[in-house]
Structure 1
């Protein structure tokens, strides 16, 4: 894409028509870069206000929450207070990670409804399932049961103007006959109710190709975790653009995947964490989006 050429062409058309051209932004930089706040889990509980301010200062426009509970809220802040904190720092939280193992296990919707209420209160679009306990994924039939529960949860979310999403690790790519847990969930869930958040790092750790999944299930992966892999140690994260993942090729398929939110995550740091997240944000914004 040649943004400058497009701008000049549009400017010429506008001038010829005597129109005032609105501010022009290339598609490449139209999406905000998000941060999964779990990256800063060592700091958030002690100083949520200071951490959120530093995240904004690092250039992020979106955050993804984790760890909410009805008792402690978002690191001691109730949803309204947390929403105000985000607004003060020019941030939004389109997604949050909420563990729903208990709902999947017994079908009790009370905790799930509390999560939906919290997500709604902070202006989120998604209630995202971050993990499945071992006892919930022992065979292919278990994944079908999970998919059915996700559909029901998706209907509950939809009633509040939200959508449910599922975030993968690598265990969902374990084969069950000629399929995998992730493919079972993709096939058994209603696309109108359930989206997926692809953790690109974990897909590659499992030996699978993200682009093949985009081709097989177009439009289903509306969020991505953008987390790079150290070239020498695939169990280690490193700043985006410094590792072994070819993000440029993957991002060429963003439209096919249905990407709406690119969310950086890093689980370990060799440099000062705020310098690290700033470096990753700048790379994603300038080189990938």
Structure 2
């Protein structure tokens, strides 16, 4: 029989482990399947409420937003209005892609401040930088400037109770004088403040190995984008499980990655329609990967 004292000690240690390691907490529970809403960029502006209802019915419990601006907000909705629709459908916007206006290039904080406020209203955990415009990433010095801005934004996010993440494409893996932009981002951002959302498709598309990145940078990749490569045209996406990427070893290494959230994303090449595609991806992940 387990004594009350031993029970308290055992559960206390387990609780401590969970609190000390978010990824450990993630694996203690049924994993949530998220959707990057950019997948439904054709549908959302026309009918936010109906689209999010279909996202929930497809099996998703978390989402990652996109498209916020000071002028248009979220497809014409205020963050509070969007939060109500998400709540009504049991969805949590744990992350959002925010372009931040011109902040990365000239330090103007107008859009960044607005983005932080929007993310707070949505009760998001992460504010994610989705993209760097081509004229501002042509050499090592460009990347160093971006790193400085990202570190600055991360401090602002922390003060607001948020975490900042950076989402990659394939251009970050291009070499500049023998070093890639991604290496600069990983090495020179503040490891305690800046995290990464690893787009698995773009890593593979660039000729790199996500497992090697996990090994070399354990714990840095708190989020993933999960999208598959079409078998006939590797420049196109397909439903998760229908393409050429083997996700099983990647999910097996999720704890080393540090992953606590992942989002299905499909940008093109839908099998029949986008809603059928997100359902197919969700079903495959639920049955085969988690």
> Structure 1 length normalisation: TM-score?
0.89
Query: Which residue pairs with 2:242 in the alignment?
Result: 242
Shift of 1:272: 2.1
SS at match of 1:31: coil
Higher mean C-alpha displacement, 26-35 vs 244-253? 26-35
Name the CA distance, whole Å, in 2 between partners of 1:114 and 1:121. 11
Number of equivalent positions: 270
| Residues 29 and 241 (structure 1), Cα distance of their counterparts in 2 relative to 1, 3 Å cut | farther
Q: Once the two structures are superposed, what CA deviation does each residue of 1:4-26 show, in whole Å capped at 9, x if it has no partner? A: xxxxxxxx98xxx9xxxxxxx99
Q: Is the 8 A contact 2:191 2:220 kept in 1?
A: yes
SS at match of 2:34: strand
Query: Which residue pairs with 2:104 in the alignment?
Result: 104
Q: Is the 8 A contact 2:26 2:260 kept in 1?
A: no
Name the CA distance, whole Å, in 2 between partners of 1:168 and 1:26. 23
Name the CA distance, whole Å, in 1 between partners of 2:28 and 2:162. 27
Q: Once the two structures are superposed, what CA deviation does each residue of 1:180-211 show, in whole Å capped at 9, x if it has no partner? A: 10110000001111110000000011000011
Name the CA distance, whole Å, in 2 between partners of 1:133 and 1:157. 22
Name the CA distance, whole Å, in 1 between partners of 2:231 and 2:73. 38
SS at match of 1:198: strand
Name the CA distance, whole Å, in 2 between partners of 1:131 and 1:288. 28
Query: Which residue pairs with 1:31 in the alignment?
Result: 31
Shift of 1:29: 6.2
Name the CA distance, whole Å, in 1 between partners of 2:98 and 2:286. 27
Residue 277 (str. 1) matches residue 272 (str. 2):
no
Residue 200 (str. 1) matches residue 200 (str. 2):
yes
Q: Is the 8 A contact 2:101 2:112 kept in 1?
A: no
Name the CA distance, whole Å, in 1 between partners of 2:179 and 2:231. 29
Name the CA distance, whole Å, in 1 between partners of 2:101 and 2:218. 27
Q: Is the 8 A contact 1:29 1:285 kept in 2?
A: no
Q: Give 5+ residue unaligned stretches, structure 2.
A: 7-24
SS at match of 1:165: strand
| Residues 84 and 26 (structure 1), Cα distance of their counterparts in 2 relative to 1, 3 Å cut | closer
Name the CA distance, whole Å, in 2 between partners of 1:102 and 1:176. 24
Name the CA distance, whole Å, in 1 between partners of 2:163 and 2:150. 10
Task: Map 1:91-170 onto structure 2 (within 5 A).
Answer: 91-100=91-100, 102-170=102-170
Give the CA RMSD over aligned residues: 2.0
Q: Is the 8 A contact 2:69 2:111 kept in 1?
A: no
Q: Once the two structures are superposed, what CA deviation does each residue of 1:210-229 show, in whole Å capped at 9, x if it has no partner? A: 11111111101000000000
Query: Which residue pairs with 1:21 in the alignment?
Result: none
Name the CA distance, whole Å, in 2 between partners of 1:264 and 1:26. 17
> Structure 2 length normalisation: TM-score?
0.89
Name the CA distance, whole Å, in 2 between partners of 1:56 and 1:277. 11
Residue 227 (str. 1) matches residue 230 (str. 2):
no
Name the CA distance, whole Å, in 2 between partners of 1:287 and 1:143. 38
Higher mean C-alpha displacement, 25-34 vs 261-270? 25-34
